[in-house]
Amino acid sequence: MNTETKLIELLMPILGIPTPDQITPQSALVKDLGAESIDFVEILYAIETELGVKIKIQEIAMTEYSSQGEMQDGKITAEIAAKLNQDFKTERFKEGQTVKELFESFTVRDLATVIERKKNSQ
């Protein structure tokens, strides 16, 4: 079973989603699945206990990326967007997005990527 599938199984009871087909790897945790701040505490705990990977909220909130380069008027630069797209193997991050927008669009696949990265560095 791959990381995305395991993650979907962990998310279902936390987010009150009855069937796994209602969650896709492209589902945004906040925008699409309705995750709230208290849910992230449970999600991170479940990942640590079930998958053996400790993740900090900053890794999901995308704040560590915003601290890597100068933000302009509270929005990410082209350099930060390029780094995000490279790290998450996507093209959806764009210059001018806010950290809040990044967090709200953080997907199941993005979280699986963070988990895999952590597993590989242990």
Each residue of 8-65: pLDDT tens digit? 999 999 999 999 999 999 999 999 999 998 999 999 999 999 999 999 888 887 666 6
Give yes or no: residues 76 and 50 share one domain: no
Q: Give the range of the structural domain holding residue 82, as residue numbers without chain letter.
A: 63-104
Q: How many domains does the chain have?
A: 2
pTM value surpassing 0.85: yes
CA–CA distance, 34 with 52 (Å, rounded to integer): 25
Q: Examine the domain organization and report whether 51 and 2 are in the same domain.
A: yes
pLDDT at 107 over 90: yes
Give me 81's structure tokens: 């967007």
Helix axis angle for 37-46 and 3-15, nearest 10°, is 130
Give yes or no: residues 100 and 82 share one domain: yes
> At 106, which amino acid appears?
F
- Mark whether 32 and 76 lie in a shared domain: no
Opening angle at CA 60, ends 59 and 63, nearest 5: 65
Confidence of residue 67 (pLDDT cuts 50, 70, 90): low
